């Protein structure tokens, strides 16, 4: 699918919407997978959705929004820290409503990845489609704000690009054909090559301040421990963590080259691996007690939306703030708040 610009009428309405906050940057744009999705998948024919309770039970009005958590996700906390008084809306939701669009938009789609094939498997919004959506957004922005104002918004905005987990857990690790062709390290190289192309494309469209979270320790996810660890093990899967470390190293070195190649680019790599690893290995130091299973469901796999077609989850932990994970792949709001503080520290060069 492509992205239509048929909602220009909503842009016109936004000219009359007062923005009372004074954010540190003019706008925030988000590209990524389920860790950053705020509801785009609600509008797609995909199995990967979080539009049912208990997802969102601790969010605004205690309603599910499409976020894969009990409440806020990292990008929500980041938006608040930057001074925005409303969260950047899911882009696809703008076909039925429009508000505060000039503050930025969220294009992230659960099931997406640095490879278009990852998203196609799950009918998600691919990285290429997310970029096309952003192009449509820019065209409408110029129409209503004028080319000069639009240019200022585009160049002054912060862009967050977060993919990778879906490429491994929803593509490589479950696709025997890929195993026969590429080692996980070769697959990582391919992902990083696609990352570099995306950053260059985003730069060509005017982006100058880009933050890129690294992979977290993927082998510590409850789903990874259940599916790929030894029987009855509660320990992180080292071989999967090693792949994440390798990917992050390649991401860093490639980003250094991109900074040299693209004049005026501020590209910050946001280290998600170390703080998350600290959290799962020393939880009591951060106020957590459960790191090996998600808060919802009765097992480590059934509580992942793609394995739960009935969209019914009965069992929920009594205190989500003590759990690192909400389901088998995604963190609780408490974890997201902790991670946001860590990542924002790395992102300060984009704000100053």
Enumerate the active-site residues.
Answer: 34, 327, 330
With helix as H, strand as E and coil as C, how does the chain read? CCCCCCCHHHHHHHCCCCCCCCCCCCCEEEEECCCCCCCHHHHCCCCCCCCCCCCCCCCHHHCCCCCCCCCCCHHHHHHHHCCCCCCCCEHHHHHCCCCCHHHCCECCCCCCCCCHHHHHHHCCCCHHHHHHHHHHHHHHHHHHHCHHHHHHHHHHCEEEEECCHHHHHCCHHHCHHHHHHCCHHHHHHHHHHHHHHHHHHHHHCCCCEEEEECCCCHHHCHHHHHHHCCCCCCCCCHHHHHHHHHHHHHHHHHHHHHHHHCCCCEEEEECCHHHHHHHHHCHHHHCCCECCCCCECCCCCCCCHHHCCCCCCCCECCCHHHECECCCCCECHHHHHHHHHHHHHHCHHHHC
């Amino acid at each position: 699918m492509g992205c239509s610009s048929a909602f220009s009428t909503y842009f016109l309405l936004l000219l009359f919407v007062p923005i009372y906050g004074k954010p540190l940057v003019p706008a925030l744009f988000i590209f990524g997978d389920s860790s950053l999705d705020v509801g785009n998948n609600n509008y797609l024919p995909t199995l990967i959705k979080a539009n049912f309770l208990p997802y969102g039970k601790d969010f605004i009005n205690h309603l599910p929004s499409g976020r894969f958590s009990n409440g806020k996700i990292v990008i929500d906390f980041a938006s608040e820290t930057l001074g925005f008084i409303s969260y950047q809306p899911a882009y696809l939701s703008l076909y039925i409503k429009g508000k505060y669009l000039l503050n930025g938009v969220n294009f992230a789609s659960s099931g997406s990845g640095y490879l278009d094939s990852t998203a196609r498997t799950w009918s998600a919004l691919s990285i290429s489609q997310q970029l096309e959506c952003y192009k449509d957004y820019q065209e409408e922005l110029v129409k209503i704000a004028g080319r000069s104002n639009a240019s200022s918004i585009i160049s002054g905005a912060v862009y967050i690009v977060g993919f990778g987990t879906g490429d491994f857990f929803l593509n490589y690790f479950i696709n025997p054909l890929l195993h026969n062709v590429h080692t996980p390290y070769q697959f990582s190289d391919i992902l990083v090559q696609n990352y570099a192309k995306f950053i260059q494309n985003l730069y060509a469209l005017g982006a100058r301040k880009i933050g890129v979270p690294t992979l977290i320790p993927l082998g510590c996810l409850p789903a990874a421990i259940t599916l790929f660890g030894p029987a009855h093990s509660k320990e992180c899967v080292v071989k999967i963590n090693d792949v994440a470390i390798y990917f992050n190293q390649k991401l860093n070195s490639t980003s250094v080259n991109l900074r040299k190649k693209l004049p005026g680019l501020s590209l910050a790599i946001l280290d998600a691996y170390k703080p998350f690893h600290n959290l799962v290995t020393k939880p009591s130091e951060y106020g957590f007690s459960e790191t090996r299973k998600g808060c919802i469901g009765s097992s480590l796999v059934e509580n992942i939306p793609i394995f739960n077609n009935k969209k019914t989850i009965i069992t929920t932990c009594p205190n989500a703030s003590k759990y690192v994970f909400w389901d088998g792949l995604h963190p609780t709001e408490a974890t997201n708040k902790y991670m946001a503080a860590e990542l924002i520290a790395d992102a300060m060069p984009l704000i100053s």
